[in-house]
Amino acid sequence: MGKWWKKAFGYQIYIRSFKDSNNDGIGDIRGIIEKLDYLSYLGINLIWICPFFKSPMDDNGYDVSDFYNVSSDYGTMNDIQELIVKAHQKKIKIIIDLILNQTSDEHLWFQESRKSKDNPYRDYYIWAPPRYINGQRVEPTNWASFFGGSCWEYDQQTNEYYMKIFSRKMPDLNWKNPRVRDEIVKMTDYWLSMGIDGFRLDAVAHLGKSDLMDSTYQTQERYKPEWEKYSNLSVVHDYLRELNQKVFSKYDIVTIGEVGGRALVEDALRYVSPKRRELNMVFNFDHNWCNNGWNRKKGEKLKIDVQAMKDIFEKWQTGLQGKGWNAIYWLNHDQPRVASHYGDRDYFHESAKMLAVCMYFMWGTPFIYNGEEIGMTNPEFKSIVDFKDVSIHNQYRINVIENKQDPTDFINYVSYSTRDNARTIMQWSNDEYAGFSNDKPWNMVNDNYRIINVKDEIANKDSILNFYRKIVDIRLHSEYNNVIAYGKYQQLKKEHQQLYFYLRQYRTKKILVICNLTNENVKIDELEYKIINIIISNYERKEIPQEFAPYEAIVLEVE
Ligand code: GLC
Ligand code: CA
């Protein structure tokens, strides 16, 4: 208890799409500075800024070519310093992405590494010779890449392959090499000494790789998606403990790992158990991938699988509580918009507000993703040119161009899941380009910016934004702040078909959260608790209703 980040309310900023200060169509650091007042108004006290380092932008900055410099798209080192000072003046802490799994192929280390087998930087990356099967050159293993195709790329210069579990312009670092680890220690320390307050550790589950042996998965694909070959291996924990001991432990910071590759609660505990001295918390993806309905027809609505969703919450809440800390969030820059994914367009406001209650009264440090607080939705993708994400273009090449999938089918399918959903520009107002810039933005503007934008949301006291502000305020500043931060989580009526009930208790204070996850009217039985106060209600109830309306959510103080 006591650590500042246990009482933080986070907000993730996808810098490229957030605010453009110099009208070149690209969001930037000064754009964030301009919007600090807005962030204070929202009430959050922690921001996570997506990568702004020097980069050829193959993967919007997750492909870093120089960890010690800022991309000219985004500004200068002075801008970063000014942002840190100004945010701190407003009591907003800053965390940044720590990208450890890979660099850009344009990074100096890789430029050297690929030159020759005896280059001093050769072992900074993972190289392996080809195999020859029936005289054909074949990759060292049959493992898939997350972005489609093989996780290996052939490099003619030395007739070897390098590993790249993301794009071909993102070679994986070789963490077995102590020199690589030393470089990372140095870089991590550099950013902390600059005054930032911690890190979101990108793709951290993948730092260790299995021995190079083929996957035995029996699937149709040529390259096998056996992510376990390079996810959550025990050696990752050795690397993290080293980093913690050499750097993290010297500062009062927060560290949050992104643990993909199907991490289980047991895996998560290995990262966040305080006695292991690795990370403070992790982001998992279970709720993003729960009954995700990527296969549904165009325009078809997704119904939340109530039981599956509740089981996931239960698993992570009870699995970690008392043993580590948790991070809670609906989406990030790699997931579809929650208003489109789990929200309901026929009950747009009700469902968006309900989802906020459902998530942000649970236990853990919350993170809002920029635009979520105004109910931003997925855009409509009409053709492949509407997509910016390198991984979609890779998959398009493989599925449509090479394997002749119907392009319309392809687009319908990826439209629900694509990372581009979350990356359209932030909708500030109903001015041209949604008030993001005076010039044409790098990415599309969702057509609905005329009705969904910050300016209108501020003006409307019943808006989604004002509801989010209320939640942030209750969580951080009300008499309930301790019970929300530290209270024990307990789910009630686990089998209920429509409602999600959970109780939070800290000392003698108890709050009860009830959310209708469906569009149905639902009668509720007499509660076995005495109601002391209605803390928040998305239908503005003055007393608890006998029947819950569609997507109704209510938070009660009870005894
Ligand atoms: C993480 C990031 C994602 C990026 C990948 C490679 O999953 O969130 O955006 O593409 O790592 O760095
Ligand atoms: Ca700009």
Query: Is residue 526 packed enough to be buried (19+ CB in 10 Å), middle (13-18) or exposed (0-12)?
Result: exposed
Distance 510 CA to ligand 1 centre (A): 38
* Ligand 1 atom nearest to 59, measured from its CA: 10
Distance 32 CA to ligand 2 centre (A): 11
Distance 8 CA to ligand 1 centre (A): 24
Q: Which protein residues are within 6 Å of ligand 1, measured from CB?
A: 59, 62, 99, 166, 202-203, 258, 333-334
Instruction: Name the residue with the closest Cα to ligand 1, atom 6.
Output: 62
Provide the Cα torsion 12, 16, 21, 25; round to 10°. Answer: -150
* Ligand 1 atom nearest to 99, measured from its CA: 12
Distance 429 CA to ligand 2 centre (A): 18
pLDDT in tens, 152-172: 999 999 999 999 999 999 999
Distance 391 CA to ligand 1 centre (A): 10
Q: What is the pLDDT of residue 1?
A: 59
Task: Write out the catalytic residue numbers.
Answer: 202, 258
Q: What is the pLDDT of residue 298?
A: 86
Distance CA 152, CA 214 (A): 13
Q: What is the pLDDT of residue 2?
A: 79
Instruction: Name the residue with the closest Cα to ligand 1, atom 2.
Output: 202
Distance CA 146, CA 491 (A): 35
10 Å Cβ neighbour count for 107? 25
CB contact at 8 A, 541 and 553? no
User: Which numbered ligand comes closest to the C-alpha of 256?
Assistant: 1
CA distances from 396 to 265, 405, 418 (A): 34, 9, 12
Query: Is residue 124 packed enough to be buried (19+ CB in 10 Å), middle (13-18) or exposed (0-12)?
Result: buried
Ranges under pLDDT 70 in the chain: 1, 261
Ligand 1, pocket-test mutation among 16, 334, 369, 395, most atoms within 8 A of CB = 334
Q: Which two tokens stand for residue 170?
A: 């993102």
CB contact at 8 A, 59 and 106? no
User: What is the phi/psi pair of residue 336, to 5°?
Assistant: -65, 165
Q: What is the pLDDT of residue 441?
A: 98
Instruction: Name the residue with the closest Cα to ligand 1, atom 3.
Output: 334
Q: What is the pLDDT of residue 219?
A: 92
Q: What DSSP letter does each residue of 219-277 carry, written as one string?
A: -SSSSB--GGGGSS-HHHHHHHHHHHHHTGGGSS-EEEEE-TTT--HHHHHHHH-GGG-
Distance CA 55, CA 157 (A): 23
Q: What DSSP letter does each residue of 377-411 carry, written as one string?
A: ------SGGG---HHHHHHHIIIIIIT---HHHHH
10 Å Cβ neighbour count for 368? 23
User: Which numbered ligand comes closest to the C-alpha of 200?
Assistant: 1
Ligand 1, pocket-test mutation among 202, 231, 288, most atoms within 8 A of CB = 202
Quick one: the chain helix, strand, coil %, rounded to 5?
Answer: 35, 20, 45
Instruction: Name the residue with the closest Cα to ligand 1, atom 9.
Output: 334
User: Which numbered ligand comes closest to the C-alpha of 103?
Assistant: 1
- Helix (H) or strand (E) run with residue 511 in it: strand 509-516
Q: What is the pLDDT of residue 543?
A: 93
Q: What is the pLDDT of residue 291?
A: 86
User: Which numbered ligand comes closest to the C-alpha of 79?
Assistant: 2
DSSP type of residue 143: B
Q: What is the pLDDT of residue 296?
A: 87
Distance CA 392, CA 147 (A): 8
Distance 121 CA to ligand 2 centre (A): 35
* Ligand 1 atom nearest to 260, measured from its CA: 7
Tracing tokens 């998305």 back to the chain, one arrives at 538
DSSP type of residue 145: P
Q: What is the pLDDT of residue 181?
A: 98
